[in-house]
Structure 1
Amino acid sequence: MESGKRDMPVYAPIDPSESMDAIGNRIQQHAQTRGSHPALIDEQGALDWRSLVDQVNRIANRLREAGLRPGESVAALSGNSRDDVALYLGTLVAGGCMVPLSGMASTEALALMVTDCQARFLFISGQQRELFGRLRAQLTKVPGERIISLAGPLDGAGYSLVDWLAQTTATARPEPVTLNDPFNIIYSSGTTGTPKGILHDYRFRQRQMVRMSRYGLDGETINLVSTPLYSNTTLVSVLPTLYHGGTLVLMAKFDAHRFLQLAETHRVTHAMLVPVQYQRILAQPDFDGFDLSSFKLKLCTSAPLRSAVIADAMARWPGNLREVYGLTEGGISTSLDCAAHPDKWDSVGVPTQGAEVRVIGEDDRELPRGATGEIVGRAISMMRGYVNRPELTREMLWTSPEGEVYYRSGDMGRIDEDGFIYILDRRKDMIISGGFNIYPVDLEKVLLSHPAVADATIIGIPSEHWGETPLGLVVLQPDRDETEHGILKWANTQLGKSQRLAAIEFRATLPRSAIGKVLKRELRAPYWPGT
């Protein structure tokens, strides 16, 4: 691998006439044409485009001075701050490949990620100082002088960012890049072995940024960012906002009431949220007292949004709501315009421009519309592959009879007669009980319709008679005194015979990832020892 270039296949359709317009060049223009326009707003105040780009160029120049070559990786224990955004852009301006790392991962997994991506530098966000303390001893591949703290001196780091940049100029020198060059690596949340590093090139990101601009993400956008920068969910809206010279309002940590305050204060126009955030925001007792009239569009991704929540948001929250379904790997891309299709709120919409979606059976043959199987897709944005994991990349591929490469989603679903896609569940979460396929989402919808249920999920547990059987895990609304048996009896009257729950267990909370996904593997573990 020469100078960090990763020779991996390209699965996305190629357009020979496609021109390159790198984000590193675009932001230099913003400094000239939108210099006094706010680029970032956080708890420290506003930072205009001229000041942000000066910081970005200083980081880029210092990375090159310290030995970063085009295509090489820069890793960061990432947070949501102006310095984190500047580092991301600075790495790209220097021609590097950005690798934002999750603070939710174990130290063992993080050490493997840093090694796997061959990180030349590691930056530590102020939000991750404590985690770095536990991680430091496992970082054997990155010299101390290449570990930089974004928030002041830190034991185990060679420099603070201020000291590291002390003698560096802000001269603009964006590194030339091509559509095939690495842009970023996003790591999956694996718990055993090395997590999968998803490599995106400039073609992937540029096409995605252009597509998202069709939803109104442009230079006038004020985008409230409340999910972490290491998540592709966040980058889907953050990168096009920066690309077009808009404004990001950064939340270091999500809080529903604070979200509403910031939205009102800064006249926010756009936000990318996950389902649990919608639920928490809409449940705020004083929600209707906030002026949210500036909103043009809310986006939702990471999991299907329940139709009841869509209905509540459409009724009470100004602006349209658009649900986006896809994979971090790309390939699958659908969108639901909630205002245009109120009769399709249980779906995740139709394929976006340039995308194709099919459903296949256990035998890998395409199924007709209405049949349930695994969703596969191809689109204009598709990853280069999993870093250093060609066998896992191959396992993800499905080739159509026409010879085109599609990505397997791992999601079970169907396509209706109008071409709208419905997600039932992750294939690995499907429960096979007595030979019947049970999709947890169907059971969860029933539980969540009970007025005493605040949150719920379904997992499969061992059954001597059926092989496995569904268990409902329920979080009650405050001050409700229903019993587990009472909710079980009620739910089973709503369900088909093959779907009936074996039991209900009350929980104080359900464990979720940073982007709101229920951690079902963690919930299943006590019931399946040794697996």
Structure 2
Amino acid sequence: MRWMREVTTLATLPTLRARSLGSKAALILRDEPLSYEALEHRSNQAAHALLREGIRPGERVAILGKESLDALVLLFGAAKAHAVYVGLNWRLAPEELAYILEDSGARMLFVDEESAALVPRVFEKMRGPLPVVRVGAKQDAPGTFSHWCAGAADTPLTETYDAEDVVVQLYTSGTTGRPKGVQLPHRSLLAIAHELEAHGERWIGWTEASVSLLFVPTFHIGGLWWLVRGLALGCTQVVLRGFEPATILASIPRYRVTHTCMVPAMMQILLSEPGLQQTDLSSLEAIVYGGAPMSTALLEKGQRLLGCGFAQIYGMTETGNCAVCLRPEDHLGALPSRLRAAGRPFPGVKVRILDEQGQEVAPGAIGQICLHSPARMAGYWRQPEETRKTLVDGWVMTGDAGYVDAEGFVYICDRVKDMIISAGENIYPAEIENVIRSHPEVADVAVIGVPDELWGEAVKALVVKQPGSHLRAGDILRHTRGALAEFKVPKSVEFTGPLPRNASGKLLKAVLREPYWKGRERRVN
């Protein structure tokens, strides 16, 4: 096994692994392998090309599109050039993408062919266009990544790197309706792995000999963390361009996949995929799930049909992904009550439960879950006040309500914030409410998450019409489409009377959610 601790930055990761693993496949995407040696040379070339463009340390370069070898090479090339890689969710609407590009101050945009048609609409909503390079193109033509890199040296840069330097910026939806850029230093993607190794914890038995399958997008912290973690170990990462159940089932026996990760909604779809029973899954050793809790029934079905170990992780972009884990051994023979736990902290992570006055509560008492992790963010980009609210003396205020039992297991009960999690996507009602409220026939609106058996939660809009309005649900849906990503568009619209508010005018979301969540032990799904 190659020791993790020597890898301290994304910039040096390809260099260190290429020295010992050389021709071993680091990445396989669309059946095309890229060795560790090739990853080193190509990322060096990308770094030199960025420097040739005049990209200075700390400047942002953005990527829009599904996974490609070019995009993954760019990740490490940007790190080597001291640039900051901004992963964009390709499911966002043009207006949302334009905001992120301008907020981040991105100097360049790298885009795949599928998203290229969206770019003019994005630039229309910006102060001006950016230089664009196409990634993932099959032909070496002007404007493509390979053509752009041509002529740049593939030799190592004579640079030094600091694990505290910001290397990635990922955007999360904001409680005020605007996304926030989470600044992640190199250590955010490696610190938990270092702690696991230092404490001799095998976790899921992930080693250099493992073969990992990744289909969670890398514009999410979960996918990005998984990618870096596997490459730092020296294993082979089979990367898919998206969640394709049939391709997943074909890839597992073909590449003898040992480890993969997914959100519960993906698990539910995968377990219903035709051909599952006939697929050779004997190579699978462990599946990591997160992004939302998994029902006991779905977990038991997965264990029975997939025949491997399961581990749940809990964390957020601000904590550098996972901070708490329900390990495979915790799943074995566990009572249903234990399977409702998010798990216990990873080595190096501390958990506190605070009441509304900021005082720590006793075991079993519910309060806000606060996490102190060596992988925590550096802060929000250009939002010092929001940073101070979320990052307090090194503790990340998660906004989740829960408790810790006497054995140290963390349980999530509800949300202090109003965030909705649907199919692993974080959705903030304020953003959707702002759009719906702009309709001239809407007097008031509240957006809540309601239980959904497939997606975990579904977005529901409770709308108060202006007097005399003949507004219909379809009008609301048409109004939101184009302004919001499709996954944020309400799945249902209900017209109602005056919404409940407290004396200061704040919407009583708990009252609105109650009829839909009544009888459920957890107010998250």
Q: Give the TM-score category using the shorter length.
A: 0.7 to 0.9
Shift in Å at residue 528 of structure 1? 9.3
TM alignment of 1:95-106, pairs within 5 A: 95-106=82-93
Unpaired runs of 5+ in structure 2? 421-447, 465-480, 500-506, 508-525
Secondary structure of 1:24's match?
coil
Change (3 A) 1:462 1:187: closer
Structure 1 residue 198 and structure 2 residue 182: aligned? yes
Structure 1 residue 378 and structure 2 residue 372: aligned? yes
Structure 1 residue 335 and structure 2 residue 329: aligned? no
* Rounded Cα–Cα distance in structure 2 between residues aligned with 1:458 and 1:165: 43
Change (3 A) 1:529 1:338: farther
* Rounded Cα–Cα distance in structure 2 between residues aligned with 1:111 and 1:345: 41
TM alignment of 1:303-452, pairs within 5 A: 303-330=292-319, 333-341=323-331, 342-343=334-335, 344-398=338-392, 404-429=393-418, 444=451
* Rounded Cα–Cα distance in structure 2 between residues aligned with 1:137 and 1:518: 23
Structure 1 residue 132 and structure 2 residue 119: aligned? yes
The alignment's TM-score, normalised by the length of structure 1, stands at: 0.74
Contact 2:10 2:186 in 1 (8 A): no
Shift in Å at residue 457 of structure 1? 4.2
* Rounded Cα–Cα distance in structure 2 between residues aligned with 1:121 and 1:232: 21
Contact 2:287 2:308 in 1 (8 A): yes
Change (3 A) 1:212 1:317: farther
Residue 162 of structure 1 is matched in structure 2 by 146
Change (3 A) 1:386 1:270: same
Secondary structure of 1:335's match?
strand
* Rounded Cα–Cα distance in structure 2 between residues aligned with 1:176 and 1:59: 17
Contact 1:124 1:147 in 2 (8 A): yes
Contact 1:119 1:142 in 2 (8 A): no
Residue 54 of structure 1 is matched in structure 2 by 41
TM alignment of 1:97-246, pairs within 5 A: 97-140=84-127, 143=130, 146-152=131-137, 159-173=143-157, 175-190=159-174, 194-211=178-195, 214-215=202-203, 216-246=205-235
The one-letter code sitting in structure 2 at the alignment partner of 1:262 is S
Shift in Å at residue 426 of structure 1? 2.6
The one-letter code sitting in structure 2 at the alignment partner of 1:334 is V
* Rounded Cα–Cα distance in structure 2 between residues aligned with 1:104 and 1:306: 27
The one-letter code sitting in structure 1 at the alignment partner of 2:135 is L
* Rounded Cα–Cα distance in structure 1 between residues aligned with 2:107 and 2:245: 37
* Rounded Cα–Cα distance in structure 2 between residues aligned with 1:518 and 1:305: 20
Q: More deviation in 454-463 or 417-426? A: 454-463
TM alignment of 1:274-293, pairs within 5 A: 274-293=263-282
Shift in Å at residue 85 of structure 1? 0.7
Change (3 A) 1:363 1:430: farther
Shift in Å at residue 189 of structure 1? 2.9
RMSD: 3.5
Shift in Å at residue 84 of structure 1? 1.1
Shift in Å at residue 455 of structure 1? 6.3
Contact 2:245 2:273 in 1 (8 A): yes
Secondary structure of 2:318's match?
coil
* Rounded Cα–Cα distance in structure 2 between residues aligned with 1:460 and 1:362: 28
The one-letter code sitting in structure 2 at the alignment partner of 1:303 is A
Change (3 A) 1:524 1:192: farther
Shift in Å at residue 350 of structure 1? 0.8
Q: More deviation in 21-30 or 348-357? A: 21-30
Shift in Å at residue 70 of structure 1? 2.0
Cα deviation, 1:469-492, whole Å, max 9, x if unaligned, reads xxxxxxxxxxxxxxxxxxxxxxxx
Cα deviation, 1:93-138, whole Å, max 9, x if unaligned, reads 2221111111122222222212222222211123322322321333
Residue 77 of structure 1 is matched in structure 2 by 64
Residue 262 of structure 1 is matched in structure 2 by 251
* Rounded Cα–Cα distance in structure 1 between residues aligned with 2:261 and 2:190: 19
Shift in Å at residue 421 of structure 1? 1.3
Change (3 A) 1:455 1:31: closer
Matched positions, count: 441
Unpaired runs of 5+ in structure 1? 1-17, 399-403, 432-439, 449-453, 465-510
Change (3 A) 1:21 1:122: same
Shift in Å at residue 195 of structure 1? 1.4
* Rounded Cα–Cα distance in structure 1 between residues aligned with 2:226 and 2:148: 30
* Rounded Cα–Cα distance in structure 2 between residues aligned with 1:526 and 1:120: 44
The one-letter code sitting in structure 2 at the alignment partner of 1:120 is R
Question: Taking CA–CA contacts closer than 8 Å with sequence separation of 6 or more, which of the two structures ends up with the larger relative contact order?
Answer: 2
Shift in Å at residue 394 of structure 1? 1.4
Secondary structure of 2:362's match?
coil
Shift in Å at residue 211 of structure 1? 4.6
Q: More deviation in 359-368 or 320-329? A: 359-368
Cα deviation, 1:282-327, whole Å, max 9, x if unaligned, reads 1224322211111222111111122222222222223311100001
Contact 2:47 2:77 in 1 (8 A): yes
The one-letter code sitting in structure 1 at the alignment partner of 2:55 is L
Change (3 A) 1:196 1:521: farther
Contact 1:147 1:158 in 2 (8 A): no
The one-letter code sitting in structure 2 at the alignment partner of 1:364 is G
The one-letter code sitting in structure 2 at the alignment partner of 1:339 is E
The one-letter code sitting in structure 1 at the alignment partner of 2:232 is Y
Secondary structure of 1:294's match?
coil
Secondary structure of 1:288's match?
coil
Contact 2:196 2:346 in 1 (8 A): no
Contact 2:252 2:281 in 1 (8 A): yes
Contact 2:341 2:409 in 1 (8 A): yes
The one-letter code sitting in structure 1 at the alignment partner of 2:21 is R
